Structure 1
Amino acid sequence: MQQHLPSGDISPRRHRMSKSRSRTVKLGVAAAAATAALVTALMPGAQAADNPYERGPAPSTSSIEASRGPYATSQTSVSSLSVRGFGGGTIYYPTSTSDGTFGAVAISPGFTAYQSSIAWLGPRLASQGFVVFTIDTNTTADQPASRGDQLLAALDYLTGSSSVRSRIDSSRLGVMGHSMGGGGTLEAAKDRPSLQAAIPLTGWNTDKTWPEVKTPTLVIGADGDTVAPVATHSEPFYTSLPSSLDKAYLELRGATHFTPNSSNTTIAKYSISWLKRFIDNDTRYEQFLCPLPSAGLTIAEYRGNCPHTS
């Protein structure tokens, strides 16, 4: 006798076919997803898709404290006779071009000083993945406002005319400076808000308030500074910066006004982290800046706003 199935029921054969089709579709979707993932993984730069400006391997405390980073570097001299607006200098840069372009930093010396006084920062920062320009100023007596203009002229030369301009991303630039060059660093940041990072080193300036600055700024002072005491220079510089700005104040322990003129691991460690975090937008370096570093053998005080917003 022929058996009739209730209305709406599916025959055993049709049920098996439906299950088979469902498995086939699921397997096809899974295969497509796996293929897409494989293609994405094999695409150049896929790992850095979230941040195309990341350069170099993941950092560690030892890597940012090392005297040299992962990049081999070279350097080229720039004669004062071949430039306008500043006194020439030396460009340090990563020799590899396989990672694409790099951010760039111009660095000014202090009063009566030459680029040799801040030369140690050139290869140290360049080996971490930056193009670095240590400059001479027009005269050794140039004041902070002039040094700020010269830092900007040096960046314009770097990105527009220098022999390494093709290695630089002109949208990712920063400034540093010692003493009057530190005061010039603040002047440059005030005059060019598009800068991504500023680091005045034991800075000196008769202007103590900087509410106009929109550039993430790390102010580095020294507890034993008698030329630009922190109470009348670095501290007011820092506190006058907008509260909404990504900013930090690092006071070196057992240091003098001239500590930035010699190789210094603490200056390098936090400068590298600041430049990476804000010029390269590399949040892998946030760990060295937030939570705020504690006082210790080389740090008298560290202040700042965490977490960073930009």
Structure 2
Amino acid sequence: MTALIALATALGLALTLLTAAAPPAAAADLLSQGRPATSSSTENAATPASAAVDGNTGTRWSSTFSDPQWLGVDLGSTVTVSRVVLRWEAAYARAFQIQTSDNGTAWTTVYSTTTGTGGLQSLDVNGSGRYVRVHGTQRGTPYGYSLWEFQVYGSGGGTPPGNGIPDPTTASLEAANGPLTTATYTVPSPSGYGSGTVTYPTAGASYPGVVLMPGYQGTQQNLQWLAPRLASWGFVVINVGTNTLTDDPASRGRQITAAGTQLLALGNAPGNPLSGKLNGTLGAVGHSMGGGGVMAALRDDPRFRAGVPTAPYYPNVNFSAVTDPTFFLTCQSDPVAHGNSYAVPWYNSMSQAEKLYIEVPGDHLCPMTGYGDKAKQGKWILSFLSLWLRGDTRFSPFLCGPVRDGDKNDTSLVTRWMDTCQF
């Protein structure tokens, strides 16, 4: 019996060591945006195949009204495909397959369903190929097939996993700046919002975009501390000034959407420093009424795939429809927007979203520049956005599991922590 116990203990220790030594999963990059797209048919000239890979959720591909139909993208070289995102218009596929090919002729099915429901579908797949297509075999409506966006994520095709971002550590994430060199660019003609300063990595790669939105009476100074931290870890960050200092949360949500639209447009336009820097994925961070605006953007604009509302304020609004990953950062002694009044009810109502809630000491200003523990706040926000906007699971341990427990269990640092781990 003693020998068996010793053997079991040794095996358990060995498995623990092997698990700890396992290499981190590679981040997934958006590979399809702007690549050549083709389709079996188009409904008309206004709905071409290219509209489904242009990063604009206001344009779409649609087919003629018959089965089967397909839409495909040429990724330029053989890649490893790990995720496909479909943003269906009302005309969706009830039965379809995701297929890959090395030559555009012989196809391998990596996902198949006969019970599709349309809407936004994020599909984990495991395959490789130069060409990827969605092949519809049964329509869900009398119309054709129609996609606002067809996004293929993976690694390869000349894009290093994680865009050259090194493995994160506690020390590196708590530092004021990350591993990438950054520069700034002032948006010359803001459209739909007051002003914009973009901080971006100078390396030759494309990254997710993040909109920073201040609160009531706030300016770009509100969240200025966060822009270089995010940019130096692989984000293109637009720090926004509002149309007026008194804009309400609904208006701030619309301005987040407008800033995201212009940021993507700058990434697609030649002749400016942001050309080619945006990969089509968007997130947002906001304070107070700006945090309420983040919630509105997540609810109303499918291009925004993750958000961080800090000390969020938006009275008498239901956000149970939000399904995107959301990190609520609140302040224990907040007399304006205490978590119990806004963030906690929203958190509890969002049954379909991955969620994180952290309450820290301080008043309503705790997430702003010059207040609170920016090393910890920065680490959490960076990790959350890296995980959910880039799919970079190397950042998960700082939010879930033993690595984060030092933060979670420190009552001088965190007064309340809730999550939907494991992420």
TM bucket normalised to smaller = 0.7 to 0.9
**Conserved 8 A contact 2:155-2:161:** no
Q: Over aligned residues, Cα RMSD in angstroms?
A: 2.1
5 Å-filtered alignment, 1:64-213, equals 64-79=173-188, 82-97=189-204, 100-161=205-266, 163=272, 164-170=274-280, 172-213=281-322
Q: Which amino acid aligns with 2:356?
A: A
- The structure richer in strand per residue is 2
**Conserved 8 A contact 2:180-2:232:** yes
> How many angstroms apart in 1 are the aligned matches of 2:79 and 2:414?
37
Report deviation, 1:300: 1.0
2:388 is the counterpart of 1:278:
yes
Report deviation, 1:103: 0.8
Match of 2:379 among 269, 278, 284: 269
- Residue equivalent to 2:414: 299
**Conserved 8 A contact 2:319-2:350:** yes
> How many angstroms apart in 1 are the aligned matches of 2:222 and 2:174?
20
The CA deviation string for residues 133-171 of structure 1, in whole angstroms up to 9 with x for no partner, is 01001111011111011001001101103631410101x
Q: Which amino acid aligns with 2:355?
A: K
Q: Give secondary structure in 2 for the equivalent of 1:54.
A: helix
Q: Give secondary structure in 1 for the equivalent of 2:285.
A: strand
| 4+ residue segments displaced more than 4 Å | 43-46, 50-53
2:358 is the counterpart of 1:250:
yes
**Conserved 8 A contact 2:190-2:196:** no
Gaps of 5+ in 1: 1-42
> How many angstroms apart in 2 are the aligned matches of 1:45 and 1:63?
30
The CA deviation string for residues 153-193 of structure 1, in whole angstroms up to 9 with x for no partner, is 001101103631410101x2101100000000000000013
Q: Which amino acid aligns with 1:295?
A: N
Distance 1:303 1:74, change over 3 A: same
Q: Which amino acid aligns with 1:300?
A: T
Q: Which amino acid aligns with 1:60?
A: T
Q: Which amino acid aligns with 1:256?
A: D
Structure whose CA Rg is larger: 1
Q: Which amino acid aligns with 1:113?
A: G
> How many angstroms apart in 2 are the aligned matches of 1:219 and 1:53?
28
The CA deviation string for residues 270-307 of structure 1, in whole angstroms up to 9 with x for no partner, is 10000000000000011111126423121111111112
> How many angstroms apart in 1 are the aligned matches of 2:316 and 2:364?
18
> How many angstroms apart in 2 are the aligned matches of 1:216 and 1:140?
28
Q: Which amino acid aligns with 1:213?
A: V
Match of 1:240 among 338, 349, 357: 349
Match of 2:155 among 40, 46, 49: 49
> How many angstroms apart in 2 are the aligned matches of 1:267 and 1:304?
16
Report deviation, 1:49: 3.4
TM-score using structure 2 length: 0.58
> How many angstroms apart in 2 are the aligned matches of 1:207 and 1:128?
36
Q: Give secondary structure in 1 for the equivalent of 2:337.
A: coil
Count of residues in Structure 1 that have an aligned counterpart in Structure 2: 258
> How many angstroms apart in 1 are the aligned matches of 2:346 and 2:184?
33
- The structure richer in helix per residue is 1
Q: Give secondary structure in 1 for the equivalent of 2:171.
A: helix
**Conserved 8 A contact 1:173-1:195:** yes
Give the fraction of aligned pairs with identical amino acids, expressed as a percent: 33
> How many angstroms apart in 1 are the aligned matches of 2:396 and 2:208?
18
> How many angstroms apart in 2 are the aligned matches of 1:118 and 1:185?
14
Q: Which has the higher contact order (CA 8 A, sep 6+)?
A: 1
Q: Give secondary structure in 2 for the equivalent of 1:62.
A: helix
Report deviation, 1:256: 1.4
- Residue equivalent to 1:39: none
**Conserved 8 A contact 1:193-1:214:** no
> How many angstroms apart in 1 are the aligned matches of 2:327 and 2:356?
5
> How many angstroms apart in 2 are the aligned matches of 1:194 and 1:155?
9
Q: Give secondary structure in 2 for the equivalent of 1:228.
A: coil
Report deviation, 1:93: 0.4
Q: Give secondary structure in 1 for the equivalent of 2:319.
A: coil
TM-score using structure 1 length: 0.78
Q: Give secondary structure in 1 for the equivalent of 2:162.
A: coil
Report deviation, 1:208: 4.5
**Conserved 8 A contact 1:214-1:245:** yes
**Conserved 8 A contact 2:320-2:346:** no
**Conserved 8 A contact 1:222-1:251:** yes
**Conserved 8 A contact 2:195-2:240:** yes
- Residue equivalent to 1:10: none
> How many angstroms apart in 1 are the aligned matches of 2:389 and 2:312?
21
- Residue equivalent to 1:31: none
Q: Which amino acid aligns with 1:268?
A: G
Gaps of 5+ in 2: 1-76, 81-153
